[in-house]
Amino acid sequence: MAKNKVNYEELGSIILPYIGGAENIYKLTHCATRLRFELKNREIVDIDSIKAIDGVIYVVEGGGQFQIIIGTNVQTVYKSLNRVLNSSDTENNPVSSSNKPAKKSLLERFMNTISTIFTPMIPAITGAGMIKAILAILVLTKAIDTNGHTYYILNMISDAAFYFLPMLLAYGAALKFECNPILSITLAGVLLHPSWIALVNGNEAASLFAIKLTLVDYSGSVLPIIITVWIQSFIEKYADKYSPEMIKFFTKPLITILLTGILALLFIGPLGSKLNDIVASAANILNDKVSWLIPLLMGALQPIMLLTGTAWSLTPIATMQIAKNGYEQVNGPGMLASNIAQGGATLAVALKAKDKELKQLAASTGFTALLGITEPSLFGVTVKLRTPLIAAMIGGGIGGIYAGLSGLVRYAFVSPGLTALPVFIGENPMNIVHAIITCIISFAVAFIVSFFITKIE
């Protein structure tokens, strides 16, 4: 029987009782398609009832989070659910250590940290990336003069999110490390202040309290601000604990900004910058030596990473690469192959299915996968039938090999798909050609394999 039309405004209220109520939620965030819960007691969650709710695509546990996949309407559900939580008697905040979630494994803590820090910045990076893609098309078609003020201003707008990346990351890091996000953003401003940049660009050595400063440009950096906010979280707690109540309003931010800012400029920033460069350089070397390996693994294993909640694992490296090189090779090429292969495998099911409901589901979700949103296809069709999932992994892997061998790169952070192909337009005019060929290979292999190995009852 076909599902009813979903009211996404009410979906959060419908889900809430089955997840244990507001009092069972320690923290709630969301990404492009998922509600991400950190729960106090996982045992009381009714997973089967949640899966049966109209509007819920699937439920996944991974990265230390309980994830409910909604699709592109997730923000509507998130906002409505937050309104319910904020009006509840129970605050959506930890009140004691006993209320915190059960201890997680090291991998779960790592994945949870990555997703919490990087998820909030995605809209800004995506928007800026699409502006860059549009500019690339305008330059390629000679529709805009690169020496004119129009190009200059539009390019400036597209660069802002990448230049001020530490500020975007500061907000996400503050959410993760549970400290004041405004103070965190202020500390990012310290690292990016024009006076500091003037010191970096100058020819003279500089010191602070007679300690020599390592002059580093932190624009577009990733690790320095994340480590800085982590240190801030400890200093802020101590400032809160030991400041007299009467003057805490100004002593707490004073101590936090002053001490953390000094430590950031003297020690944390240079250390984070060095680690940042090491990680980005290691990724570049790996791409130079075995260029096919990472796109192969990403193309083949992306569905499994989505299933296990580890899809964010390479996001920090990709972010570092884009900030340092202007493009990245670790996420985008393999994800393009995987997304298109997922669409191909699912559309083969649509062609082969006799059941009208399955045919419609596979056709709509397969098309959506080609556009870069694969969860409806993955959880609605390929995981349930299994063999199309295998076909998608084969197609994604083979497409990923071509992407790697051809040197395909992605110039901006947008979920790869047919509508996002402009993010593969850049200095190398053949890059977009290689992206299109990657799509053709991935789709064809996945479609053919899925069509012949899938048995539909």
Cα(207)–Cα(199) distance, integer angstroms:
10
Report pLDDT digits (tens) over 278-298: 887 888 788 888 989 999 999
Rounded CA gap, 272 and 270, in Å? Answer: 6
DSSP 115-139: HHHHGGGHHHHHHHHHHHHHHHHHH
Calculate mean pLDDT across residues 153-166: 93
* Residue 241 reports pLDDT greater than 70: yes
Query: Which residue, among 388, 251, 392, 377, has the nearest Cα to 334 in the 3D structure?
Result: 392
Domain boundaries of the chain, sorted by first residue: 8-102, 164-287, 290-453
Helix axes 181-192, 194-201, angle to 10 degrees: 30
Kindly indicate the confidence band of residue 94, based on its pLDDT and cuts at 50, 70 and 90.
Answer: very low
| Residue 95 confidence class, pLDDT cut points 50, 70, 90 | very low
**What band does 318 get if pLDDT is binned at 50, 70 and 90?**
confident
Q: Any idea how long the chain is?
A: 457
Task: Give the tens place of pLDDT for each residue, 199-224.
Answer: 999 878 899 999 999 999 999 889 99
CATH number for the domain running over 8-102: 3.30.1360.60
Residues paired with 410 in a beta bridge: 328
% pLDDT > 90, the chain: 51
Is position 179 annotated as part of the catalytic site? no
What are the tens digits of pLDDT across the range 8-47? 888 988 999 999 988 898 888 887 788 989 888 888 999 9
- pTM of the predicted structure, to 2 decimals: 0.80
- C-beta neighbour count of 355 within 10 angstroms: 11
Name the catalytic one among 22, 28, 31, 358: 31
Say how far residue 100 (Cα) sits from the centre of its chain. 25
- Residue 310: predicted pLDDT: 75
Q: What is each CA distance from 107 to 27, 69, 147, 230, in whole angstroms? A: 19, 21, 48, 18
